Amino acid sequence: MKALKLNQTNHPFVLSEVEAPSPFGKNKVVSIKAAALNHRDLWIQQGQYAGIKTPIILGSDGAGIWNRKKVIILPSLNWSQQSPFPPKNFKILGLPDDGTFAEKVLVPEKNIFPMPKHLSFAQAAALPLAGLTAYRVLFSRCQLKKKDSVLISGIGGGVALMAFQFAVANGNEVWVTSSSKTKIKKAIQLGAKGGILYSDGDWHKKLLKKAGGFDVIIDSAAGDGFGQLIKVANSGARIGIYGGTRGKMNGIIPQMVFWKQLSILGSTMGSRQEFAKMLQFVQKYKIVPVIDQVYKLKDGNKAFQKMASGKQFGKLVLEMKGA
């Protein structure tokens, strides 16, 4: 089969002919029709991840055919029930085990779910990791209620956009931040109440003036700007954090944290149970993940260049057709 192999970190992926996996026991082989990129894959390529081994086929997201049915793959391995944190043997598909950037992938049968009927393979492939992470941080961790006002920082990334779409579908008033006016405009077209450029000085003051405070804030930047998020949080707010692209969180005023009784809640991935709930939610509201661009498998490196540029709005998808 064709696969996009990472032979060593800090090198391009190589489209290679490799031996296809064989099913054994409760592990089944899904024929991948489309896969999607996650930042995790980029970090692994760049050597910035724990437990890297090469050569490896990366990819946590995939949709395809198994048992003559259209299926979608849950990338959380060995995490069944919703719980405060994953079990010790928890893994993510695509390291250490080979992932979805290939024509076939071996996964446990319980990680195979029927594909939502309203989605194409490319759209379905865009859903699993981002949708699961967004669902857990928003609903399980931040306990999103109908009346909560929501802020999603750094709109454009996969999880941020899914969290955004989920909150909009849920009926919440949702605001976004970005460093790009174009991304803010796109978010408004998708149902955002408004947005603010975080590259503006004193953006948090402007945002407070325009939008008031927020009950739920979803962030993946961390860094020095995290202290500003604390300032736009309402009393009792839950701030979900699932990433740290801007490094250490600094400048958090503790008096704001305790007087406003804030909750800062780390979250990543989710359990099988949360994945099932997420799929139900996506089906109920006919949510279609936002795709930035679809590439052929052989053009995988172009997709990674786009991700590294940070210019994408939505998921970057690889299609296997004619790989």
Q: Which is nearer to a copy of itself, 16 or 263 (CB)?
A: 263
Packed helices 158-169 and 128-135: angle between N→C axes, nearest 10 degrees: 60
Q: Which residues inside 125-164 make contact with a copy of itself, applying CB under 8 A?
A: 141
Binding flag, residue 212, a copy of itself (CB under 8 A): no
Task: Name, in order, each residue with C-beta under 8 angstroms of 24's C-beta and a sequence gap of 6 or more.
Answer: none
Binding flag, residue 259, a copy of itself (CB under 8 A): yes
Binding flag, residue 261, a copy of itself (CB under 8 A): yes
Task: Give the containing element (helix H, strand E) for 301.
Answer: helix 300-309
CB of 58 to a copy of itself, least distance (A): 19
Strands 173-178 and 149-152, sheet pairing = parallel
Q: Kindly tell me which residue out of 114, 212, 236, 310 binds a copy of itself, with binding defined by CB under 8 A.
A: 236
CA 54 vs CA 73, 102, 106, 216: distances in Å: 23, 16, 18, 39
Q: Which two tokens stand for residue 196?
A: 């603010």
Binding flag, residue 201, a copy of itself (CB under 8 A): no
Q: Kindly tell me which residue out of 114, 235, 308, 310 binds a copy of itself, with binding defined by CB under 8 A.
A: 235
User: CA end-to-end span of the chain, whole Å?
Assistant: 9
Q: Kindly tell me which residue out of 19, 201, 258, 284 binds a copy of itself, with binding defined by CB under 8 A.
A: 258
CB of 242 to a copy of itself, least distance (A): 5
Instruction: Compute the C-alpha angle 275/55/16, nearest 5°.
Output: 90
Binding flag, residue 262, a copy of itself (CB under 8 A): yes
For residues 225 and 258, give the distance between their C-alpha atoms in angstroms, rounded to a whole number: 19
Contact between residue 76 and residue 272 where contact means Cβ atoms under 8 Å apart: yes
CB of 23 to a copy of itself, least distance (A): 31
Binding piece for a copy of itself, criterion CB under 8 A, among 74-82, 83-91, 113-121, 283-291: 83-91
Binding piece for a copy of itself, criterion CB under 8 A, among 100-108, 164-172, 255-263, 275-283: 255-263
Packed helices 128-135 and 272-284: angle between N→C axes, nearest 10 degrees: 100
Size, binding site for a copy of itself by CB under 8 A: 37
Q: Which is nearer to a copy of itself, 116 or 243 (CB)?
A: 243
Query: Residue 197, exposed/middle/buried by CB under 10 A (0-12, 13-18, 19+)?
Result: middle
**Partners of residue 76 on adjacent β-strands:** 92
Q: Which is nearer to a copy of itself, 22 or 255 (CB)?
A: 255
In the block, residue with structure tokens 């709109």:
155
For residues 320 and 305, give the distance between their C-alpha atoms in angstroms, rounded to a whole number: 19
Q: Kindly tell me which residue out of 231, 265, 273, 296 binds a copy of itself, with binding defined by CB under 8 A.
A: 265
CB atoms within 10 A of CB 106: 18
Binding flag, residue 60, a copy of itself (CB under 8 A): no
For residues 250 and 222, give the distance between their C-alpha atoms in angstroms, rounded to a whole number: 8
Binding flag, residue 213, a copy of itself (CB under 8 A): no
Q: Which is nearer to a copy of itself, 155 or 262 (CB)?
A: 262
For residues 292 and 306, give the distance between their C-alpha atoms in angstroms, rounded to a whole number: 10
CB of 229 to a copy of itself, least distance (A): 12
Binding flag, residue 108, a copy of itself (CB under 8 A): no
Binding piece for a copy of itself, criterion CB under 8 A, among 62-70, 77-85, 106-114, 192-200: 77-85
Binding piece for a copy of itself, criterion CB under 8 A, among 123-131, 178-186, 260-268, 297-305: 260-268
- Exposure of 141 in the CB half-sphere (CA atoms within 13 A): 28
Residue numbers at the binding site for a copy of itself (CB under 8 A):
83-86, 141, 222-223, 226-227, 235-236, 241-244, 247-268
